[in-house]
Amino acid sequence: MQPIIAITASEVINNGETWLPIVYGQSHTYTDAIVRSGGAPFILPITHDTTVLRRLYEQCGGLLLTGGSDVDPEAYAMPHSSNKVNATTHPSLTKVSRRRDDQEYQLLKWALEDDKPILGICRGMQLINVFLGGSLHPDIAINLPSAHDHEVNIHKKDFHHLAHRLQINPGSQLSKALGIDTIAANSLHHQTINKLGDGLVATARSEDGIIEAIELTDARFLIGIQSHPEALEAESALEWRKLFETFVRASGQANR
């Protein structure tokens, strides 16, 4: 049986025809990576109906929290978070979606309670950190001016470009999954982790010290990746495929 993987959706707006309804969808790179790694993915619609959401959640063995818009800064001080930072609107803040944030917090809460495997990618990693009481730097260029450019792929308009290398902590879940301690990655983010959430450890960094991976060591499987390995595992950096295979395998074991 192929493990079922729930993939979170973005809110997609048709900028040319703004009167059209918002689309709940996600890049095919996520589903392709899961299929190639032996899983059966489905994209979750965004809904306020927690009964429906719970019914869908119960079908999955693993949860993939995807990239997309910024996490709402108001979330840094939400009741479930131990971090009481005064949230302010930063000038670099991109469009946020509280409906998406709220749903993904609920899914994350359930998955942590059930110890289901969780993989967070880009925004997904940042959301995990915020949920567990951490905070973010709103903009790398403004808050960390000595850091390298972490929007290289956006500027190049090339999703598959290998922007930098990551140094991975030996012995970490990520190192064990990949079988290596350094790997090339793309880079499409303007925010980064500031304070780590409760129980999280940083397990990979870029050359300039930016946190590029996190994990919860006492979880069955919880890894957050700041880059977009789903865009690399097929051609640009094949080593990333092992991360998705490990995630899918853990998701199959979770439902036994």
Of the residues 164, 228, 233, 245, only one is catalytic, namely 228
| CA torsion through residues 181, 185, 191, 197, sign | negative
Active-site residue 60, yes or no?
no
Gyration radius of the chain over CA positions: 17
Of the residues 104, 230, 233, 245, only one is catalytic, namely 230
Active-site residue 228, yes or no?
yes
- Rounded Cα distance between 79 and 85, Å, is 12
Active-site residue 148, yes or no?
no
Q: Which regions of the chain does DSSP assign to beta strands (E)?
A: 4-8, 10-12, 23-25, 40-44, 62-65, 118-121, 136-137, 164-168, 182-185, 192-193, 200-205, 211-216, 222-225
Q: Provide the greatest CA pair distance for the chain.
A: 51
Q: What are phi and psi of 20, to 5 degrees?
A: -75, 150
Of the residues 122, 164, 190, 215, only one is catalytic, namely 122
Instruction: Report, as residue numbers or ranges, the catalytic residues.
Output: 122, 228, 230
